[in-house]
Structure formats: structure tokens, C-alpha cells
């Protein structure tokens, strides 16, 4: 009875903590139940005392849950980093293949331009010495206005236009052949710039050859000028449509590049850096048009 009174007096003090766990891992309630003090045990339970098991369980569960959460986060971060590394490695492989494809495409374009330039030069050279009507074969058949070796159609204005435009196309093609066979370009950007210039020269050569053909057609049809007019209309429509489309692509590309540059200059430093990286990678790996 005295012990119960002592316990009651102790529990009446506000400083008394009934949930303290001793070195044996027991609270006051556990010790009372262990020693068979049912009266004290009931009194402690009435005061809200708890056993060590009920006190440790939430903390243990919280610790395990926290540990499990940390482990899940670590696993998720590891998997994300591994996935990012694999993605970057695949992207680098894709970028290498795209760079190889672009380089091969530029090299093929250079080879094709060389072949086309040689063909135009060959045709232009042969056309000058294979004019319609040929040349007088006998000296006594020369008219007073003609000199030896002069073509019969030399005085015609159409032939003069033909000889000027055909010769110009010939020398432009030869210039392209000389550049293509003499200059070795390694950097891809420099190759694109050279291809852009050479393509423009080939455009000019094709237009000159077309004009030379049209001028000669007015000579060989004689009085049937409607045939030459029809050939002129057909050639004008085809060449104008082709060159107009190509010029539109060039202008559209220049406008888009100018828009991206102006957009980058108006962004903040961080946004400009990210945008330049994005646009740089986009321009680097998209299809290269050397027009």
C-alpha cells in the first residue's frame, strides 16, 4: 500500500515522465507488469503510461519508412543518371552517324558538280565548232564579206548571241573544274560555303547554255519562227520555275537564320545560352542544304 501511495505521489508531479525507457528496454509499466504489480500497472495505465513496445514501434516504423524512402530516391536517381548516360551515348552515336552522312553528302555533291561542269564545258566547246551550215569548203565559194574559216551563219545576230553565251558558260564550267580539282576543303562549314558559291556558278552556266540554245534555234528553224518561240517559252518557264524555287529556299533560309540570331540577342544570358545550344545542335544535325 505504501508503494502505491509513493507511485501516486510521483505521478502527481508534472516533471514525472512515465514513458522513459531504462537500460533494459522497459518502461515503468513494463517493470510493474514484469514484477506482478497489477495494481501499480493499472494505475499507470490509468495515467496514460505506455509500454516500451508501443513507444518503439512508431519510431521504428518511421525510421524504416524514412530509410526506405531514401533508398528509393537513391535508386531512382541512379537509374535516371544511368538512363541519361545511355541516352547521351546514343545521341553521340547518332550525331557521329549524321555527321558522317552530311560529310558524304557534301563530298557527293562536290563530285557531281565536277561531273556536271565537265559535261557543260564539253558540250559548250563542241557546240562552237559544230555550228549549223558549217564552213565553206572551197576558197572560191567565199563571198566578199566572208573570210576563210568563217561560218556561214557568222553574220547572223543569233549566232553572235550564241557564241558569247556559249563561251561564257564554257569558261565558267572550266573555272569550276579548276577549283574543284585544285582546292581541298576539310572543314564541313567551308565545304558548304564553297558548294554554295559553285552551285550559283552552275546556275549561271545552265542559264547561259539555255540562252545559247534558244539563240541558235532561231537560226536553224529558218522561216518557221513559231518553233523557236515555242522552245523559248518552254525553256523560260522551266528555268524560271526551277531557279525561282531555289532562290525562294535560299531567301527563306537566310530569313530564318536572321530571325534566330535576333531572337538570341533579345533573350537573357542563361536563356540565350540554352537557346544557342538548342539552335546550334539543330542547325548542326539537320539536313544540310548547300544551295
How many other C-beta atoms can be found within 10 angstroms of the C-beta atom of residue 136?
17
Its pTM stands at 0.55
CA angle 200, 202, 207 (to 5 degrees): 100
How many other C-beta atoms can be found within 10 angstroms of the C-beta atom of residue 113?
21
What is the spatial distance between Cα 214 and Cα 232, in angstroms, rounded to a whole number?
6
Q: Is 142 helix (H, G, I), strand (E, B) or coil?
A: coil
Per-residue pLDDT band for 4 (boundaries 50, 70, 90) equals low
State the pLDDT at residue 284.
43
Using an 8 Å Cβ cutoff, are 127 and 215 in contact? no
What is the spatial distance between Cα 193 and Cα 186, in angstroms, rounded to a whole number?
12
The DSSP symbol for 286 reads S
The stretch 221-230 carries a mean pLDDT of: 84
What is the spatial distance between Cα 208 and Cα 128, in angstroms, rounded to a whole number?
14
Q: Calculate the average pLDDT of the chain.
A: 77
The residue with cell 543569233 is 158
Taking CB atoms within 8 Å and a gap of at least 24, the contacts of 196-201 are 196/290, 196/291, 198/110, 198/113, 199/113, 199/290, 199/291, 201/172, 201/175, 201/176
Using an 8 Å Cβ cutoff, are 1 and 37 in contact? no
Choice between 231 and 59, residue whose per-residue pLDDT is larger = 231
State the pLDDT at residue 166.
92
DSSP H helix total and E strand total for the chain: 8, 0
What is the spatial distance between Cα 170 and Cα 162, in angstroms, rounded to a whole number?
12
State the pLDDT at residue 170.
93
The stretch 41-59 carries a mean pLDDT of: 67
Query: Per-residue pLDDT tens for 187-197?
Result: 777 788 888 88
CA angle 198, 202, 205 (to 5 degrees): 140
> Nearest CA to 291 among 98, 104, 109?
109
Query: Per-residue pLDDT tens for 243-263?
Result: 899 888 888 888 887 888 788
**Sequence-ordered alpha helix ranges (H) in 13-149:** 28-34, 38-46, 52-128
The DSSP symbol for 47 reads T
Query: Per-residue pLDDT tens for 157-188?
Result: 888 899 999 999 999 999 998 888 887 777 77
| CA distance to 61, 91, 257, 263, per residue, from 273 (Å) | 47, 20, 17, 12
C-alpha cell read off for 254: 537566310
State the pLDDT at residue 165.
94
Range in 61-70, 121-130, 202-211 the model is least confident about: 61-70
Amino acid at each position: 500500500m505504501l508503494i502505491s501511495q509513493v507511485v501516486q505521489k510521483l505521478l502527481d508531479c508534472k516533471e514525472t515522465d512515465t514513458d522513459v525507457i531504462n537500460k533494459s528496454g522497459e518502461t515503468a509499466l513494463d517493470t510493474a507488469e514484469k514484477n506482478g504489480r497489477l495494481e501499480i500497472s493499472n494505475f499507470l495505465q490509468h495515467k496514460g503510461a505506455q509500454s516500451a513496445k508501443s513507444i518503439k514501434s512508431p519510431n521504428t516504423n518511421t525510421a524504416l519508412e524514412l530509410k526506405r524512402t531514401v533508398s528509393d530516391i537513391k535508386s531512382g536517381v541512379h537509374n535516371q543518371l544511368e538512363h541519361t548516360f545511355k541516352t547521351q551515348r546514343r545521341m553521340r552515336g547518332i550525331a557521329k552517324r549524321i555527321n558522317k552522312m552530311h560529310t558524304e553528302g557534301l563530298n557527293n555533291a562536290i563530285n557531281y558538280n565536277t561531273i556536271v561542269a565537265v559535261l557543260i564545258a564539253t558540250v559548250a566547246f563542241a557546240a562552237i565548232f559544230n555550228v549549223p551550215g558549217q564552213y565553206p569548203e572551197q576558197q572560191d565559194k567565199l563571198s566578199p564579206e566572208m573570210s576563210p574559216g568563217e561560218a556561214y551563219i557568222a553574220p547572223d545576230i543569233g549566232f553572235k548571241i550564241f557564241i558569247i553565251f556559249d563561251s561564257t558558260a564554257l569558261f565558267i564550267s572550266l573555272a569550276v573544274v579548276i577549283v574543284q580539282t585544285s582546292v581541298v576543303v576539310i572543314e564541313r562549314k567551308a565545304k558548304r560555303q564553297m558548294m554554295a558559291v559553285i552551285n550559283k556558278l552552275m546556275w549561271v552556266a545552265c542559264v547561259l547554255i539555255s540562252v545559247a540554245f534558244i539563240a541558235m534555234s532561231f537560226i536553224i528553224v529558218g522561216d518557221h519562227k513559231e518553233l523557236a518561240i515555242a522552245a523559248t517559252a518552254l525553256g523560260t518557264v522551266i528555268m524560271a520555275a526551277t531557279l525561282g524555287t531555289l532562290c525562294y529556299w535560299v531567301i527563306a533560309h537566310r530569313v530564318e537564320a536572321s530571325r534566330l540570331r535576333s531572337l538570341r540577342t533579345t533573350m537573357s544570358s542563361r536563356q540565350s545560352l540554352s537557346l544557342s545550344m538548342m539552335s546550334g545542335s539543330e542547325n548542326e544535325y539537320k539536313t544540310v542544304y548547300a544551295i
